[in-house]
Structure 1
Amino acid sequence: MVVAACANTDSLAARGDCASDALIVGSGNFPASETVANIYTEVLRVNGFKVDTEFDIGNRETYIPALRRCAISLIPEYTGNLLQYLDTDATATTAPDVNAALTSALGDDLAIATPAPGTDSDAVVVTRATADRWKLTSIADLAPHSKELKFAAPAEFAQRPGGLPGLRKTYGLDISDTAFVATPDGPATVRALVDGRVTAADIVTTSPAIAEHDLVVLTDPEHNFAAQNVVPLFNSAKKSDKAVAVLDAVSAELTTTELISLNTAVSGEAKIDPKAAALAWITAQGLNSPIA
């Protein structure tokens, strides 16, 4: 296992072949990303592309440099968080504004296809008991309880503009270092909240745990969290008209409802393998034959 891990790390650190027609589809280190990456992979293969995969790479700070080096060719991304990663001064929050700003922020070595209508956004989430006790409906309602909170999220949330800094600036929700619980992934974040180890958490809006555990998503009236439409992100050298046409057909079907359904299949009680869930979805959407 150690040898395999080292090999994967080495392949991502090395410069890839930007001139080849072959594609390497990557994914982040969470189930929703891997599921969509499997969808991209299989539909591209159906349409005649030679495709390899590098899944479970890690966070944006790891996979964007790999993408720039052509160690991977493309990866599912989320428009708002990608924009804030590329431009820490970005202020766009609505989908049209985010998409316009993102196009300018990509530079010469990165490119996107058409964003999907489906969104998978960050949200501040509490248990029903906490929402009832403190009469919470929005993030603003939670701010007066800052000193009583423990807050769970992946480690990078502590530094990202839409994370703790944004919540502090936009709502006065001031989470101290000692009250912040860094979790390795989304399922661990959910467990921390459901088990009562924290009072609030950053959980994506497509998580099946929200309905499963009757959790409450607090509204974000000041738009701290930017629009997060799913979008294929390419190394510019690996983007082609045919690949864009194929992935645009995929994105057209990736509504928020479909993303929730996929996440429920993979991360809910059924625990379906991401590739199996992707293949079933592709067949259901009629994407299992070449796109005319």
Structure 2
Amino acid sequence: MALLATGAVVLTACGSSSDALGGGQATQDKVIVASANFPENELIAEMYAGALESAGITVEKKLNIGARELYVPAIQNGEISVVPDYTGNLLLLEDTKATAASSADVYTALKAALPADLKVLDYSPAEDKDALVVTPAIAAQYKLKSIEDLTPVCSQLVVGASASFPPRQAGLVGITEKYSCTFKEFRSLDTGGPLTLNALLNNDIQVADLYTTDSNIPDNNLVVLEDPKNVFPAQNVVPLYKDGSLSDAAKQKLNDVSKALDTATLTTLLRQVTTDKMPAQTVAMKWLKDKGLV
């Protein structure tokens, strides 16, 4: 994920129906659905787009546009209408000292913290949290079950994650503050993707930031470290949109998608995209049809 951007930014939208942000503005007559630059978010964005199109709403897609620090201003500028987001990280973007942890509490705090021009629809039961993950060998060697167990050995271990992980409260900042854990080294890799996974499996790093819906975790018997101090708050999927950019019909369709999606289903569908290499749009449309949403 891209680092915090300053100044004018042009974002390339790989695999989308538009080559870059900019140009047309989102309106209630044309909903511009965007996604961050990782497979799960693109998959959910395809669900949003397919459901909206089935209701006769004109949809434009701008997928894989970058990190939250980039697409939030784009929503506020009217360049996109809606993007799938995650309640906990979105809350911490607005309030770095937020302490809410449960799904309901995080959602309530998020609605209160958002600026007036940004809104969220209903949050989904589907949740995908960041997690610190280690191999079974590292877990056994250092007797690791939770992040708290890392504290005495952090200085011996290398952690790998996306470039945006170190400065975030739900990242190295929070881990250092809450667990007094300072790693030997941080290695900038990808956003819970193959670079991070392979570095962990090859012992180039000993701790990785992965996502809890990642099928590579059970497939490789990886150990997810418990987080008793809630560095990583609840991360329920939620549509983030610009106030006034969605019609009532569009809001209802997106809420229907959120209601129908759960964590187990999201994990299964994501496996089809990342492991089976099926196109996200194909996976999304089949699920929407199976659920009677199109």
TM-score (norm 1): 0.92
1:271 aligns with 2:277: yes
From the superposition, tell whether residues 76 and 194 of structure 1 become closer, same or farther in structure 2 (CA, over 3 Å): same
Contact kept, 8 Å, 1:119 with 1:228, in 2: the verdict is yes
Identical-pair percentage: 39
Partner of 1:12: 21
1:255 aligns with 2:232: no
From the superposition, tell whether residues 10 and 66 of structure 1 become closer, same or farther in structure 2 (CA, over 3 Å): farther
Gap runs ≥5 in structure 2 = 1-9
Contact kept, 8 Å, 2:13 with 2:63, in 1: the verdict is no
Match for residue 241 of structure 1 among 219, 241, 248: 248
Partner of 1:110: 118
Note the alpha carbon deviations across 1:136-190, whole angstroms, 9 max, x for none.
11110112111111000101110011100100111112125xx101113221221
From the superposition, tell whether residues 19 and 277 of structure 1 become closer, same or farther in structure 2 (CA, over 3 Å): closer
After TM superposition, the runs of 4+ consecutive aligned structure 1 residues lying more than 4 A away are: 3-11
From the superposition, tell whether residues 82 and 6 of structure 1 become closer, same or farther in structure 2 (CA, over 3 Å): closer
Contact kept, 8 Å, 1:67 with 1:234, in 2: the verdict is yes
Q: Secondary structure at the match of 1:233?
A: strand
Partner of 2:208: 201
Aligned residues: 282
TM-score (norm 2): 0.91
- CA shift for structure 1 position 4: 10
Contact kept, 8 Å, 2:26 with 2:80, in 1: the verdict is no
Alignment of 1:160-171 (within 5 A): 160-171=168-179
- CA shift for structure 1 position 17: 2.7
Partner of 1:34: 42
From the superposition, tell whether residues 264 and 18 of structure 1 become closer, same or farther in structure 2 (CA, over 3 Å): closer
Match for residue 292 of structure 2 among 266, 286, 289: 286
- CA shift for structure 1 position 13: 4.8
Partner of 1:53: 61
Partner of 1:190: 197
> After the TM superposition, which of the residue ranges 19-28 and 144-153 deviates more from structure 2?
19-28
Gap runs ≥5 in structure 1 = none
Q: Which structure: greater helix fraction?
A: 1
Give the distance between the partners of 2:280 and 2:200, measured in 1 at CA. Answer: 24
